[in-house]
Structure 1
Amino acid sequence: MSAKVVVIGSLNMDLVTRASRLPRGGETLIGESFATVSGGKGANQAVAAARLGAQVSMVGCVGNDAYGVELREALLADRIDCQAVSTVDGASGVALIVVDDNSQNAIVIVAGVNGALTPEVIDRFDAVLQAAEVIICQLEVPDATVGHALKRGRELGKTVILNPAPASRPLPADWYAAIDYLIPNESEASALSGLPVDSLATAEAAATRLIAMGAGKVIITLGAQGSLFANGKSFEHFPAPKVKAVDTTAAGDTFVGGFAAALAAGKNEGDAIRFGQVAAALSVTRAGAQPSIPDLSDVQAFKTP
C-alpha cells in the first residue's frame, strides 16, 4: 500500500466514564455511564487522517490480549494499513478517562506495550516510512523512538509533524531541526517554551521561542479560541468554528490528523489549518475518541451556525 500519511505512535483502549464533575482527591463519585472505546493519540490521529481523505499506515504495538485485537480491528475498519502494527507479549495500553458535564476531561494513561515500540521496530518498517509524504509522531511512546522517527523522516525528506502530547518538560534540543510542524496545545507550548500561554500574545511569544529553538513552523491550538500559526516571519490567528461541545476527547488528535490529510492532499497551510479546525469542531459535538472523529463528507458539508 502506498501511504501518504504514516502515523508512528500509541494505541490505547480508552476506559471512559461520565460523571457530573471530576472527582477531588480522595473522593468517590457515582458515575453516569461507562464505555470502552478504541483510542491512543497515535491511533486517533491515524483514524482522523484516514476518515478525512488520506491513505494511512500505522506504526505501533498492541498486546496479545482482547484489547489488542479490538484496537487492530478498529484501524482496519477505517482501511488503515496495519502491516507495521506489531502484536507483542503483554497488556495493550489503556487510558482511564473521566468526562464531566462541562465536557472537560481528566486522563490517566498506562502505556503497556506502547513501550515496546523501539527504534529497532521503526527500522524494521523503514519501507513504510519511505512510502509516506507526511509522518506524524506524538509522545505516548518512548522518547528514543520518537527522536529516531523524527530524524529518519527528515533524512527521507518527508514532511514531519510532531504533536508533543502529553508534554510536561522541554523536548531534546536535537529534535527541533527535524520538525516541520510542531503542534502543541497551550499547556504543551508552555511546558516546551518555559513561557506562560494564556492569550494570543503569550502564544506568539511561545511560538517565537520554539522556532528559535529550531522548529520549522509552529501551530499552537487554543481550544475554543482557535489556533495560532507562526512561521518565524509572521503570525496568523485562525478563529475556531462555533459549535456546542459535548466531549473534547480527541479534538486535538482530530485537528492533527485533519491537518496532515489536507497537506497530503496538496492544500496550503492556511487551508489545511482551517480544514483541521472544522474536523476538530465537529468531533467535540460527539462523545468518545475515535467514534467522534468525522469523515470527509461531514467536513465538506459543515456550515458555521
Structure 2
Amino acid sequence: MLSSQEPPLIVVLGGINMDLVTMTDRFPGAGETVVGNRFLTYGGGKGANQAVAAGRMGARAAMVGRVGDDVFASPALQTLVDSGVNISPVGITPDTSTGIAVISINVDAQNQIIQVLGANNTCGDEEEAKVMGLLDGAAALLLQLEVSVELSLRCAQAARAKGVRVVLDPSPVRPLPDAFYGCCDIITPNETDAQALVGMPVTDRETAAQAAGTLLSRGVGTAIVTLGPQGAYYATAEGGEFVPAFAVEAVDSVGAGDAFNGALAVALAEGRDLGESVRMAAATGAMSVTRSGAQDSMPTREEVEALLRQSPC
C-alpha cells in the first residue's frame, strides 16, 4: 500500500509515439493482403507507456522526450496528461514527425510492430539536461532504447552517480556497449530481446535463467527476463526465482512489458522486496493485456491490488 508520505518520483526518458493499430484474424505472409477487423489509434511509445503505468500505480511520474510538430503530437501526449504525468520536460522538434508505431494484433493477442522513431530520434543534449534536473529526489530512472543508446548511457551514468536506481528495458533491441550493463541496476528484456542480447534461444524458465546469468556476468545488478504468458524469471548474484503468470484472458499484449516496468519501479521505490515487486509488476502486466491499447490498457493501482488479492500465491 502507498504510505502517507509523498509518492516516489519516477523519471522516464524514452519514446513518445502515436500507435496506429490494426486487428486481424491472422498476420499476412510476405506479399499477402488480409482484411482486418478493426482500426484504432492511441498514444504509445515505450517511454510514455511506462510513465503512464507509473502514474496510475500512484507515483509522481515525469516524462522526458520529444514529439514532432504534426497532428499526432497532441493526441500522443493526452493520456500522459490524463494520468497525471508531468510532461513539461517534453520538447517539440520542428519539421519532424512524432514517432509512430504501426501495430498488427491477431486473434491470439500477439503483435507485430513497425516503428518510425521520428522526433524520438532527435533527443539529445537538451533531454540529458532535463533528466539531470529531475534526478535529485528521484527514486528511479526508466530507460528503453527508443532514443539513442549514447544519450541513455550518459543519463544512466548520471543517475548511478546520484544513487538513483536505473531500470533498462532493452527494446527495441540494439547492441549495447559493455559500460551500459554496469550502469543497470535492473534490466528487463522479454524473451525475444534476451535472445538477441545473449545469442541463445530463450523460451522457458530454464533458458531464461541461463540468459539472466549471462546478463549478470556483464555487470547488471538484477536481470528479469519476462516470458509473456509463462511468467518472469528474476536473478541477482544471490540466486534466482520464477514468478508464474497470472491467469487472465488476453486481448492485446501491446504495452505489457511497459506496464511491468512502470509498476516494478514504483513497487521497489515503496520499499517492497524484489520478489514482491516482480509479482506486483507481473500482475500489472497481466491486467494490461485484458484490454486494447498501450497507455489505455495500463491498470490503476486498485485494479492491480484486486488481482493480487484474487491470486494470493
TM more than 0.5: yes
1:76-117, Cα deviation, whole Å (9 max, x unpaired): 111111121111111100000000111111000000000111
1:278 pairs, out of 280, 283, 286, with 283
Deviation, 1:146, is 1.2
1:304 pairs, out of 263, 288, 311, with 311
Name whichever of 69-78 and 158-167 sits farther off: 69-78
Q: What SS does the aligned partner of 2:233 have?
A: strand
1:282-293 correspondence to structure 2 within 5 Å: 282-293=287-298
Amino acid paired to 2:163: G
Residue 94 (structure 1) aligns with: 100
Identify unmatched segments of 5+ residues in structure 2. Answer: 1-5
Residue 109 (structure 2) aligns with: 103
2:57 pairs, out of 52, 76, 79, with 52
Amino acid paired to 1:304: S
Which whole-Å CA distance do the structure 2 matches of 1:296 and 1:77 have between them?
15
Residue 72 (structure 1) aligns with: 77
Which whole-Å CA distance do the structure 2 matches of 1:27 and 1:276 have between them?
38
Which whole-Å CA distance do the structure 1 matches of 2:132 and 2:177 have between them?
23
Q: What SS does the aligned partner of 1:207 have?
A: helix
Q: Calculate percent identity across the aligned residue pairs.
A: 40
Deviation, 1:124, is 4.1
List structure 1 segments (4+ residues) > 4 angstroms apart after TM superposition: none
- Pairing 1:6–2:6 present: no
- Pairing 1:157–2:163 present: yes
- Pairing 1:133–2:144 present: no
Check whether the contact 2:70–2:98 (CA below 8 A) recurs between aligned residues.
yes
Residue 122 (structure 1) aligns with: 128
Check whether the contact 1:160–1:181 (CA below 8 A) recurs between aligned residues.
yes
Q: How many residues align?
A: 304
Change (3 A) 1:48 1:2: closer
Residue 15 (structure 1) aligns with: 20
Q: What SS does the aligned partner of 1:133 have?
A: strand
Which whole-Å CA distance do the structure 2 matches of 1:266 and 1:233 have between them?
19
Check whether the contact 2:149–2:176 (CA below 8 A) recurs between aligned residues.
no
- Pairing 1:227–2:236 present: no
Identify unmatched segments of 5+ residues in structure 1. Answer: none
Check whether the contact 1:2–1:131 (CA below 8 A) recurs between aligned residues.
no
Deviation, 1:133, is 1.0
Q: What SS does the aligned partner of 1:21 have?
A: coil
Q: What SS does the aligned partner of 1:258 have?
A: helix
Give TM-score scaled by structure 1 length. 0.96
2:89 pairs, out of 84, 89, 95, with 84
Q: What SS does the aligned partner of 2:89 have?
A: strand
Name whichever of 183-192 and 67-76 sits farther off: 67-76
Residue 3 (structure 2) aligns with: none
Deviation, 1:49, is 0.6
Deviation, 1:129, is 2.2
Which whole-Å CA distance do the structure 1 matches of 2:175 and 2:204 have between them?
20
Amino acid paired to 1:101: V
